[in-house]
Chain A
Amino acid sequence: KNQVEQSPQSLIILEGKNCTLQCNYTVSPFSNLRWYKQDTGRGPVSLTIMTFSENTKSNGRYTATLDADTKQSSLHITASQLSDSASYICVVSVVSGGSYIPTFGRGTSLIVHP
């Protein structure tokens, strides 16, 4: 069964600190891996997208890495801000012909304290 596991489940850090969120998946083969940020009561917003041939992608203070051999991805947040408090969701998708099969992780809940 295709699965996406995220860790930690929740994380509390101080403003200005860095942190790294992990995503392990068993989806195979996959077409792309996305990281989303979801604020409470809002829909997810895409941060990065990577295909299996890419191993790093940056978006401002967010940097995602991908190791397709070990089926692991990480999201590194640099110099955290209070507005980074949200749930971060890893999504691995298989896109084949007309079929679209996304597998979502449960997310990591990040709280940034002043």
Chain B
Amino acid sequence: GAGVSQTPSNKVTEKGKYVELRCDPISGHTALYWYRQSLGQGPEFLIYFQGTGAADDSGLPNDRFFAVRPEGSVSTLKIQRTERGDSAVYLCASSLTFGGEQYFGPGTRLTVT
């Protein structure tokens, strides 16, 4: 079946703009995770969802970052007033159950100019 998909694959935006990044998890996976990966670094945990609710958002760097998963499937990561330091690859992963093996999407490369 289809894996985790993320759109767009690349996003270039100007400093101060608002962006939305989308993640389509594997069908039936209840847990969904967002990570951020800067160049030469390992992924950094941002938030995870169990169903529709954000079960742990302790990794979100500040209140400019917000994520939703209204129907327990697709998730959107929203970044307000983007800064150049937000430039990174944003990875999404899903797992059948919380704590289970995670399947990653290809990521969205965000560049803030």
Nearest first, the 7 A-B pairs at minimum CB distance are A43-B104, A104-B42, A95-B99, A98-B55, A106-B42, A102-B45, A104-B43
Considering the chains assembled together, what is the distance between the CA atoms of A89 and B44 in angstroms? 12
B106 and A41 contacting across the interface, CB-CB below 8 Å: yes
Closest approach, in angstroms, between the C-beta of A110 and any C-beta of chain B?
A: 15
Among the stretches A14-22, A44-52, A77-85, the one at the interface with B is A44-52
B43 and A31 contacting across the interface, CB-CB below 8 Å: no
Interface of B is mostly: loop
Give A9's nearest chain B residue, CB to CB.
B40
Contact code string B90-113 (vs A, CB < 8 Å = 1, else 0) = 010100001101111111000000
B105 and A100 contacting across the interface, CB-CB below 8 Å: no
| With known contacts A98-B55, A100-B55, A44–B48 Cβ distance under 8 A | no
Q: Is A12 part of the binding interface, using a Cβ–Cβ cutoff of 8 Å?
A: no
Number of interface residues of B (CB under 8 A): 24
Q: Residue B99 contacts which of A31, A44, A89 (CB distance < 8 angstroms)? A: A31
Considering the chains assembled together, what is the distance between the CA atoms of A101 and B93 in angstroms? 15
A interface residues with partner B (beta carbon < 8 Å): 4, 31, 41-46, 49, 89, 91, 95, 98-102, 104-107
Determine which residue in A43, A95, A106 has the highest number of CB atoms from chain B within 10 A of its CB, and name it.
A43
CB neighbours of A49 from chain B (8 A): 101
A101 and B106 contacting across the interface, CB-CB below 8 Å: no
Number of A-B contacts (CB under 8 A): 54
Contact code string B47-60 (vs A, CB < 8 Å = 1, else 0) = 01010000110100
Q: Is B62 part of the binding interface, using a Cβ–Cβ cutoff of 8 Å?
A: no
Considering the chains assembled together, what is the distance between the CA atoms of A88 and B42 in angstroms? 10
Considering the chains assembled together, what is the distance between the CA atoms of A44 and B58 in angstroms? 22
Considering the chains assembled together, what is the distance between the CA atoms of A15 and B28 in angstroms? 40
A104 and B91 contacting across the interface, CB-CB below 8 Å: no
| With known contacts A43-B91, A43-B106, A46-B102, A98–B42 Cβ distance under 8 A | no
